[in-house]
Chain A
Amino acid sequence: MSNLSSFNPEQWVQKYSDALYAYTVVRVNDSGLAEDLVQETFSSAWKSRASYKAEASEKNWLYAICKNKIIDHYRKNANNIVRPAEINTSENYFNEEEHWKKEAAPSDWGIDYNLPIETKEFYLILELCKNKLQEMQQSVFVMKFMEGLESDEICKALNITPSNYWVLIHRAKLQLRSCLEKNWINPT
């Protein structure tokens, strides 16, 4: 196991930087920013290496630091997002009676929905679909489904109310589902 004397900048960066970068770039959707966050992750880890306890693996420890950097980015960014007047996107999906419009209703994807998805294509398309979401929807989506935070932590970090949160999640899910169906299941 690693101990303090094994902390070597070259080895560290060679061993972990690509993985941390891939982890970060799909979460912040900006390669320059991802690079900065990885750099900050290493420098925070480096400065606090004295307090590193070997009970967490070195890798998990670095991921935990990186995760905090990403959440911190979204927290700071929340203040800068120009929040557009709530556009009611639900009429894209529902008619006046609030039932599914014929063209927007879900169709069966013909897969086992409970099995983990292993095809690269799914993740690539999910990424593209996620990047088309409004900024606040993206923030809650990443924090909830990629970082696994609790909704009350997310509300606090982004300074939104629980009802804002549910509306954002609902719209993000409607849009992602529809985007995946169009581009992953039925590409033209």
Chain B
Amino acid sequence: MISCKEATFLISKKEENKLSFVEKIKLKMHLLICSFCRLFEKQSKLISMNASKSHQHYTAVLSDSSKENIIQNLKDVSD
């Protein structure tokens, strides 16, 4: 039976469909008996699924002077 350390390692590979046949079996057997690693799998997937949306929940704005700089920069290029 593989350890939790190895199982969590394989869980990351599984998310990217990079497990070999043998690794799949080993992980499946481990997950059958280990509730901690089952939770790890769900929570790891949750992080993977949501990470790319961070900016939609983040209010960051550029200062007016920064915007002015960018505009000036574009105008300089086009002159």
Binding site for B on A (CB under 8 A): 9-10, 12-14, 17-19, 21-23, 25-27, 31, 34-35, 38-39, 42-43, 46-47, 90, 93-94, 97-100, 105-109, 113, 116-118, 120, 122-124, 126-127, 141, 145-148, 151, 166, 169-170, 173-174, 176-177, 180-181
The complex places the Cα of A148 from the Cα of B39 at a distance, in Å, of: 24
Excluding A22-B55, A113-B45, 5 further A-B contacts by CB distance (< 8 Å) are A93-B5, A98-B4, A145-B48, A145-B51, A177-B44
Q: Is the CB of A47 within 8 A of B77?
A: yes
Q: Is the CB of B42 within 8 A of A38?
A: no
- For B, the interface residue count at a CB cutoff of 8 angstroms equals 44
Q: Is the CB of A141 within 8 A of B51?
A: yes
The closest CB in chain A to the CB of B47 belongs to A176
Which of A39, A94, A106, A107 counts the most B-chain CB atoms under 10 A from its CB?
A: A106
| Interface SS majority for chain A | helix
Q: List 13 A-B contacts (CB under 8 A).
A: A17-B70, A18-B60, A22-B59, A43-B77, A98-B5, A98-B6, A113-B46, A116-B49, A170-B9, A173-B8, A174-B8, A176-B47, A177-B44
With a cutoff of 8 Å between Cβ atoms, the chain B residues found around residue A118 in the complex are: 57
| Interface SS majority for chain B | helix
B49 smallest CB distance to A (angstroms): 7
With a cutoff of 8 Å between Cβ atoms, the chain A residues found around residue B9 in the complex are: 166, 170
With a cutoff of 8 Å between Cβ atoms, the chain A residues found around residue B73 in the complex are: 39, 42-43
Asked whether B61 is an interface residue with its Cβ less than 8 Å from the other chain, the reply is yes
Once A39-B73, A148-B52 are accepted as A-B contacts, the answer to whether A109 and B43 lie under 8 Å apart by CB is yes
Asked whether B29 is an interface residue with its Cβ less than 8 Å from the other chain, the reply is no
With a cutoff of 8 Å between Cβ atoms, the chain B residues found around residue A93 in the complex are: 5
State which of B12, B43, B48 has its C-beta within 8 Å of the C-beta of A170.
B12
The complex places the Cα of A148 from the Cα of B51 at a distance, in Å, of: 10
With a cutoff of 8 Å between Cβ atoms, the chain B residues found around residue A141 in the complex are: 51
